[in-house]
Amino acid sequence: MGAVRSAIRAAISGTRGPQRPRYTTFMHPQIEQFFQTYRDAVALGADMELRLRMLADKTPPIAALSTAKEMGSVEKAILEHFGEKISDSERRLLSVARQLRNKLVHGDFTAAVAKLDELGHPPRPAAMYAVKMPDNLTPQSFVEAVGKAKPFAVNEAPNKGHLVAWHMQLCRDGSLTRAAEIFRQGISLIDRLAGA
């Protein structure tokens, strides 16, 4: 009976056989979780940007700007057109959330932390430890290096590499979860304006 149901579902969906994942990962499941958290936040940021463009597109006086290359132009037109329906804090949310999305997409995690801080989410204490391993690693030098490990915080090492540590820090300290929530707030605001 299960095979029949699967065949029916496949026929309806236009596929044959079991669905395969869209991509394969060879990363450890815990590392993959960091990427999933990042993908979730960035996807919500992209969703928010698309909704903002669609709102402009459905608003005749500013429809021509919906495909503007610079997202700031679209945002400015939305803020001007819906001026009295948007509070100062909502204006700030749309502006900073757009910039936050851009910083996350381009891996500028130090600037992303600053954008979160602008929206009332100050940097969190370090959640990661950085260990500098000696060139000639021995069991003794390993123990000494681990003993000297210091907390790592994104805002303490701007533009000096450590991209993996930055990524892990933002996942561990909840920054990406907070970014996702900010994007959800932006989406709710845009949906409210679309219904106005």
Task: Write out the chain's pLDDT in tens, 196 residues.
Answer: 555 555 555 555 555 555 555 555 566 777 788 889 999 999 999 999 999 999 999 999 999 999 999 999 999 999 999 999 999 999 999 999 999 999 999 988 888 999 999 999 998 877 777 677 778 888 888 888 888 877 766 566 655 667 777 888 888 889 999 999 999 999 999 999 999 6
| Residue 104 tokens, joined | 């996350």
Is the pTM here over 0.85, yes or no?
no
Question: Nearest 5 degrees, angle CA 190-CA 167-CA 151?
Answer: 125
Per-residue confidence (pLDDT) for residue 45, from 0 to 100? 97
Q: Where are the domains of the chain?
A: 2-195
Cβ neighbours around 166 below 10 Å, total: 25
Per-residue confidence (pLDDT) for residue 19, from 0 to 100? 53
In sequence order, which ranges of 63-108 are alpha helices (DSSP H)?
Answer: 71-81, 88-105
